[in-house]
Amino acid sequence: MSPSDSFLVFDGPLVHSLSRDAITAVERAIVVVENGKITDIRESDTGDVSFLNSDQYKLKKLANGQFLCPGFVDLHTHAPQFPNQGLGMGLPLLDWLDKYTFPLEMRYKDENFAKKVYHDVVKSTLKSGTTTACYYGTIHRQSTTHLAKAASQLGQRALVGKVNMNRNSPANLVESTDSSLEDTESFIKDVKAFENPLVEPVITPRFAIACDTKLLRELGDLAAKYNLHVQTHISENVDEIAYTKELFPDAESYAQVYDSAGLLTDKTILGHGVHLTDDEEKLIAKRGSAVAHCPNSNTWLRSGICDVRRLWRNGVKIGLGTDVGAGSVASIIDAMRSALATSTNKSFFSADYQPLTFHEVFYLATLGGAEALGKEEFIGNFEVGKDFDALVVDVEKSQDQTPSTFTYEEHSILERVQKLIFCGDNRNITDVYVRGRLVST
Ligand SMILES: O=c1[nH]c(=O)c2nc[nH]c2[nH]1
Ligand SMILES: [Zn+2]
């Protein structure tokens, strides 16, 4: 029998979060992966693998300077908007949607266009180290099924949502309530028919402005019926909040609009949450819902600075989102860096505000994202029994020289992590594994 891809043994340094406050680094570890799952991890000075009762494994010895890192979780991104990356930055949300986003999203009526873009999107997010992605599609059922198919075929762990919009949207991008619901249920069945446990449908009302009360309620029912995750936007921009209040005059708050519809559950991911009140954050925490912090997008659409520490104080689970195309970069490395930059900028204006640390943003990018999705039993760090969703990171000898590879002397593992976060990019990601399968090199 030849060594098998279903039995891998990694020998090298690793980093991961066991808690929010500190990255744990292991100088040299042996990680055993069988059928996609971690079955053993031990520290080792010598790389001795004689404890294995077989020689049918493939040994992956990391090169000098490389380290293993858990795969990144992108809690919020819009696959159809990738062709618009970098466009319209500086416009406020509602103008940006009208001018750039809605016209592009209309094009996804064309399945062939969708197929092409979505294949490239999944390739690109995998190359960026995103092993788990929460994707918004468009209102188009078949095209969004192509997105789920691309993730399934290319091996990404993905939550994929057909977007719902039944009002306050342009003529070519609006559905009737009935067709929105019928298409959503068909989409759920289409994705379930793949029988790929890594790819799930997710209920995706765009935001309260684009969905009326009846649609929101029925979507809440569908989420309950199929036990699905929910994703939507909340309190991103002050004009959006004012308009939402006008549309739902009886609701106590924006969060209450979703809560009354049964859409705030322990499987809900709320994008942004920049301007939430304490009461809303407490309600979100009580329901077990999570916030996707999207700092790049919040800067470029000038939405505001999300106070991550306040969300944590109020007990809300948080992870990171790239939010392409309001976010300009589809990389969670960039999201970590943006989270550090925005919280540092915030600290200039409030003396007692402690900026986030690189340890904390690394947690947000990995274990925090996993916890936000309720998937910490399976992913987020390297523990026996979890799936092997992992990156081989190289800040010493990546093929293209990046700022992070200007290393003319030895650096500790935690210094290498800092190089990755503060000046790295996808050129520093050598290999990407999802459940033990090599999905990008
Ligand atoms: O950043 C955002 N991107 C979007 O596409 C969107 N739709 C509603 N609210 C939104 N915010
Ligand atoms: Zn978004």
Tens of pLDDT along 18-46? 999 999 999 999 999 999 999 999 999 99
- For residue 302, tell me if it sits in a domain: yes
What is the mean pLDDT of the segment spanning 290-295? 98
Q: Mark whether 122 and 264 lie in a shared domain.
A: yes
**DSSP letter string over 312-346?**
HHTT-EEEE---BTTBS---HHHHHHHHHHHHHHH
What's the CA-to-centroid distance between 231 and ligand 2, angstroms?
9
**290 alpha carbon – ligand 2 mean position (Å):** 14
Domain end residue (candidates: 372, 402, 428): 372
- Asked whether residue 80 is assigned to any structural domain, the reply reads yes
| Number of domains into which the chain is organized | 2
**Is residue 399 scored above 90 in pLDDT?**
no
Q: Answer yes or no: do 220 and 103 share one domain.
A: yes
18 and 38 assigned to the same domain: yes
Q: How far is the CA of 179 from the centre of ligand 1 (A)?
A: 22
The pLDDT tens digits of the residues spanning 331-343 come to 999 999 999 999 9
Q: How confident is the model at residue 405 (pLDDT cuts 50, 70, 90)?
A: confident
- Please tell me the predicted confidence (pLDDT) of residue 65: 87
Rounded CA-CA distance 235/291 in Å is 11
User: What pTM, to 2 d.p., does this model score?
Assistant: 0.97
Based on the domain organization, do 191 and 299 belong to the same domain?
A: yes
Which of 344, 372, 400 is the endpoint of a domain?
A: 372
Q: Is the pLDDT of residue 196 over 80?
A: yes
* Mean pLDDT over the full length of the chain: 96
- Residue with CA at minimum distance from ligand 1 atom 2: 326
Residue 3 has pLDDT above 80, yes or no: no
Q: Is residue 377 part of a domain?
A: no
Looking up residue 57, the CATH number of its domain turns out to be: 2.30.40.10
pLDDT recorded at residue 194: 97
Ligand 1: distance of its center to the CA of 233 in Å? 7
On the question of pLDDT at 53 being above 90, the answer is no
AA letter at 211: C
Same domain, 262 and 135: yes
pLDDT confidence bin for 1, thresholds 50/70/90: very low
Q: Read off the pLDDT of residues 382-396 as tens digits, 9 standing for 90 and up.
A: 999 999 999 999 988
Ligand 1 pocket, mutate which of 87, 101, 163 (most atoms under 8 A from CB): 101
Given 348, 372, 396, which residue is the final one in a domain? 372
- Please give the pLDDT value at position 4: 74
My answer on whether 138 and 217 are in the same domain is: yes
Which residue, by CA, sits nearest to atom 3 of ligand 1?
Answer: 326
Average pLDDT over residues 253-271: 98
Q: How far is the CA of 29 from the centre of ligand 1 (A)?
A: 42
- With a CB cutoff of 8 Å and minimum separation 6, the contacts of 329 are 85, 296, 322, 335
Ligand 2: distance of its center to the CA of 233 in Å? 6
pLDDT of residue 2 exceeding 60:
no
388 and 363 within one domain = no
Residues 158 and 131 in one domain: yes
- H-helix segments, 227-317: 238-247, 254-260, 278-287, 295-300, 308-313
**Would the pLDDT of 421 be above 80?**
yes
Residue 136's CATH number: 3.20.20.140
pLDDT mean over 214-219: 98
Q: Which domain holds residue 14?
A: 4-70+382-440
| Pocket (CB within 6 angstroms of ligand 1) | 78, 93, 97, 101, 206-207, 233, 236, 297, 323, 326
Our mutation pick for probing the ligand 1 site, out of 106, 206, 247, 299, counting the most ligand atoms within 8 A of Cβ, is 206
Pocket test for ligand 1, best of 75, 96, 101, 233 (most atoms within 8 A of CB): 233
Residue 104: inside a domain, yes or no?
yes
Same domain, yes or no: 114 and 252: yes
Q: How do residues 129-144 score in pLDDT, each as one tens digit?
A: 999 999 999 999 999 9
Ligand 1 atom with the shortest distance to the CA of 325: 3
pLDDT tens digit sequence for 324-374:
999 999 999 999 999 999 999 999 999 899 999 999 999 999 999 999 999
Same domain for 91 and 122, yes or no, is yes
The preferred substitution site among 84, 87, 168, 236 for testing ligand 1, maximizing ligand atoms within 8 Å of CB, is 236
Quick check: 167 pLDDT over 90? Answer: yes
Could you tell me the CA-to-CA distances from 145 to 59, 142, 238, 339 in Å, in that order? 37, 5, 33, 32
Read off the pLDDT of each residue in 405-424 and give the average, rounded to a whole number.
90
Angle, helices 177-192/141-154, rounded to nearest 10 degrees: 20
Domain presence at residue 96? yes
Same domain (yes/no): 174, 319: yes
Same domain assignment for residues 387 and 340: no
Q: Give the pLDDT confidence score for residue 398 in this predicted structure.
A: 58
Residue 316 counted as domain residue? yes
Q: How confident is the model at residue 114 (pLDDT cuts 50, 70, 90)?
A: very high
174 belongs to a structural domain: yes
**With contact defined as beta carbons under 8 Å apart, do 77 and 134 qualify?**
yes
Residue 220, in any domain of the structure: yes
3-state secondary structure of 222: helix
8 Å CB contact between 216 and 232 = no
CA distance 432 to 441: 6
Give me the half-sphere count of Cα atoms (radius 13 Å) on the Cβ side of residue 293. Answer: 33
**What whole-number distance in Å separates Cα of residue 425 and Cα of residue 216?**
38
pLDDT at 314 over 60: yes
